[in-house]
Amino acid sequence: MSLRRLYQRCLGLADAIAGTHPYGTVFHPQWLAIRAQRRSLRHAAPFTRGVLLDVGCGRRPYEPFVRPYVTTYVGLEYPLTTQATDGVASRADVFGTVLALPVRNQAVETVLLTEVLEHTPDPRRVIEELRRALAPGGRLILTSPMIYNIHGQPHDFFRFTPYGLKNLLGEQGFEVLEIQPFGYFGTMLGVMTNNFITTLMWRSRLLRIARATILLPVLPMAFAFVNLIGLAVDHLLKGEEFAFGHLVIAQKR
């Protein structure tokens, strides 16, 4: 058996155990972030209503949460993101950019924007465009990381504190109804540790053969160990100054 074929089999085994983002199991390196964000979106779901536009919808992982509360769900994705991820965003209904949404003024009652704002070079323009698309009294459900490694290079521009988010939204005519952290120090520590391990495995030439044989099947176990420690730390200390990210529920004035 060739090394390449052995590697592909090991990779398939690891993926089967860990699952794929955003549906990963405890064996996935991003499990703590996935868990924290899904809990936040479940909490935010009752605030949604009417026609909902999910900007950066990907595979629409949060559609089941909001379906009971909205009349219409529309998924929008950026074309280049779809190409870069080999069609991972193929469930989008429409394609466009958040800087110029392909919707009429005041056409939707809810906008869902998860982990998108940090990837936009002009956040103020983004919030202004979302306000244009929202009907009076419309709701914006937004999530954004505060402590995370650089990703999606070179389209990774900002990190936001809760005060920065509140100020940004207030400037653009939104009333913040609720803002809360998702994930604390344990989540941040676990995700960053697992991301570092993953990056090391893929970049180190010395580990190339080892990751294709011995390490790849073992990695999910290592990720699960780190994840469980992170979960325990989160329960011990919920310091908001160490929040992994934030959920914002805002309403257009």
Structure tokens at 238: 């919920």
pLDDT on residue 31:
96
Task: Average the pLDDT over 86-97 and give the result.
Answer: 76
pLDDT one-digit tens code per residue, 142-185: 999 999 999 888 899 999 999 999 999 999 999 999 999 999 99
Give the whole-angstrom CA distance, residue 127 versus residue 114: 13
Q: How confident is the model at residue 83 (pLDDT cuts 50, 70, 90)?
A: very low
pLDDT on residue 170:
97
Structure tokens at 89: 């965003």
Q: Is the pLDDT of residue 234 over 60?
A: yes
50 phi, psi to nearest 5 deg: 60, -140
Q: How confident is the model at residue 206 (pLDDT cuts 50, 70, 90)?
A: low
Q: Is the pLDDT of residue 203 over 80?
A: no
Q: Is the dihedral of CA 149, 153, 154, 159 positive or negative?
A: negative
Give the whole-angstrom CA distance, residue 95 versus residue 52: 15
Give the domain ranges of the chain.
3-29+186-236, 36-185+240-252
Nearest to 198 by CA among 35, 34, 5, 15: 15
Nearest to 108 by CA among 32, 53, 57: 53
Give the whole-angstrom CA distance, residue 118 versus residue 150: 10
Topology given in CATH for the domain delimited by 36-185+240-252: Rossmann fold (3.40.50)
* Beta-bridge partners for 51: 72
Which range scores top for mean pLDDT: 2-11, 12-21, 35-44, 86-95? 35-44
Give the whole-angstrom CA distance, residue 173 versus residue 167: 10
What distance, in Å, lies between the first and last C-alpha atoms of the chain?
64
pLDDT one-digit tens code per residue, 92-111: 999 999 999 999 999 999 99
